[in-house]
Every structure is written in structure tokens, then in C-alpha cells.
Amino acid sequence: MNNIVNFYNAYDEESRVSTNKARKVEFNVTTSILNEYIRHQDKIIELGAGTGVYSFYYANKGNEVVATDITPKHVEIIKEKLSKVSNTIKLQAEVANAIDLKQYDSESFDVVLCLGPMYHLVNEKDREACISENLRILKKGGILAIAYINKHYVLNSIMSQDKNFLTHGFIDKILSGGTIEEGEKECFWTDAFFTTPTDMELLSSKFNTKIIDHVATDGISPLLGKLVDEMNDEEYEAWTYYNLCSCREKSILGSSNHALLICRK
């Protein structure tokens, strides 16, 4: 996990879903879908919270929220933001590893938001440990939401931006294993895992969960970044509306940059 922590220590995570319109599509769709399942009284833990964009959103809606991240820098940023807002919101920030949540009691939360860890778990056992731990701390009947990145979006995006990756070797690597690790020739990010909707559903089927929703959260918006960013407010509202209307369309799900699998324990 050192590669992940080191990467995010030097990365501006705060801007990832808030700097431009194209990136905000993911936040807008994710919260719109989650709002169909999260109740006002639900206690939420967010794993891989980054600098707390989603955690603050739900805390400001009145939920009790625990925001966690493996990167201490992110947790400090959340605490700094907390020091500047009303103390009436119920939000705390802690360093935690999503594959080992021993500091939390079993069945402590109504909702577990795993909105970042799956991106970086290159080992299958770690991915299974992550879901297992997520479910352990989740109450029976509770909601587990797992975000992931689609390998077919990644191939289209990276190969179209950098022809050095337009090779059979890179294509085969992403399609077969779906992982990249720092130090490898084909690594364009940090240690990362990319998958497909079918494989994510197969992974969740190993556990005692029921899939209740599965959505594309940003489609190809990041690929069309400049076009989306230049939309006026009315155009952007229509674009977001389209993404919400199409997010459950199976033919779109696997080509979306980010996707969200929602399960009930």
C-alpha cells in the first residue's frame, strides 16, 4: 500500500470530482443514486474518502458519518475542513485500511461507501478481504456501495491520449489481468485495478449479498472533458440528466469510466 499512499501524498485529490463539470458528473450521479437508498437516520462509513467530498455531503444532509482513508494527508485535510465548519454536523475522520477494519465493531454501520479502495487493490485476496470487512461492519439489511473503474473505458481513454500505450501488450495486460503496478512499463497511474460489470457481480456473488442496483456514474464524460466543461448551465443540466437516464443501461455500463455496484447485506 506504500505506493498508493505515496502517490496520493503528491496528488490533489480535492479537485478530482470538483474541479470541472466533466468530473462533477460522477459526483452528481453517484449521490443521486445513493439518495434512493440512504435514509436520514443511517450511520455511514466512507472508505477511501479522499478529502471527504461525499462524507461532507452526507454529514451536511444530517447523517452521522465516519470518513476514513489510508492516506494520512487526506484525513488531516478533512479534519482541517471540519475545523472551519459548523460543529453541528456529525462527521469524524480517521486513518483506516479498507481491507483490515479491526478498529470498528461488527454491524456498526447502516451504510458502507467503498468509493475508492477497489481502484487500487491489485491482489484478488485483498479485494475479497475488502468486501468481507465491509460486510462485517455493516448491519444486516444495510447498504454496501462499491465503486470501480471499467477496463474498457481505461483502454479507450489511455490509448487515445498516448500512442505509446497503443500496443497489443498493453491491451492484453488490461483485458486479462486488469492491473498495473508502479515500476512496470505499462503503468500510467499508480498501483491500480480495472474490471468489468460482469466480473464485479461475480466477485460480490462470493458473499452473502443481494445486488440491488448497478449503475454507470460518469459514462464517457471524462473522455469528452473539454466539450462538457464548455457547456453552459442549461446544456450541462441536460447532459447530467442524460447520464442519470442512461446510467442503468447495460450497453453503457461497461464503457463508463466509473461504475457503482450497490448491494444489500
pLDDT at 86: 72
pLDDT at 87: 77
Distance, CA of 4 to CA of 8 (rounded, Å):
6
pLDDT at 115: 96
CATH code that applies to domain 2-264: 3.40.50.150
pTM above 0.85, yes or no: yes
Alpha helix segments (H runs only) across 49-110: 53-60, 72-82
Distance, CA of 243 to CA of 86 (rounded, Å):
33
pLDDT at 2: 66
Contact between 21 and 231 under an 8 Å Cβ cutoff? The reply is yes
Q: Which residue has the higher pLDDT, 114 or 14?
A: 114
Q: Which residue has the higher pLDDT, 3 or 183?
A: 183
Q: Average pLDDT, stretch 249-261?
A: 96
Q: Is the pLDDT of residue 8 over 80?
A: no
Q: Lowest-pLDDT range, 3-12, 13-22, 94-103, 248-257?
A: 3-12
Domain range summary for the chain, segments of one domain joined by +: 2-264
pLDDT at 264: 98
Q: Which one, of 41, 27, 46, 130, lies nearest residue 93 by Cα?
A: 46
Q: Is the pLDDT of residue 14 over 80?
A: no
Q: Is the pLDDT of residue 77 over 60?
A: yes
Query: Residues of the chain with pLDDT > 90: what percent?
Result: 90
pLDDT per residue over 193-248, tens digit each?
999 999 999 999 999 899 999 999 999 999 999 999 999 999 999 999 999 999 99
Q: Average pLDDT, stretch 71-92?
A: 92
Contact between 110 and 84 under an 8 Å Cβ cutoff? The reply is no
* Sign of torsion over alpha carbons 141, 143, 144, 148: positive
| C-alpha cell at position 245 | 437516464
pLDDT at 19: 66
Q: Is the pLDDT of residue 13 over 70?
A: no
pLDDT per residue over 116-132, tens digit each?
999 999 999 999 999 99
pLDDT at 18: 60
- The three-class DSSP label of residue 93 is strand
Distance, CA of 82 to CA of 32 (rounded, Å):
24
With residue 180 as reference, give the H or E element that holds it.
strand 179-180
Q: How many CA atoms lie within 13 A of 141 on its CB side?
A: 2
Q: Is the pLDDT of residue 16 over 70?
A: no
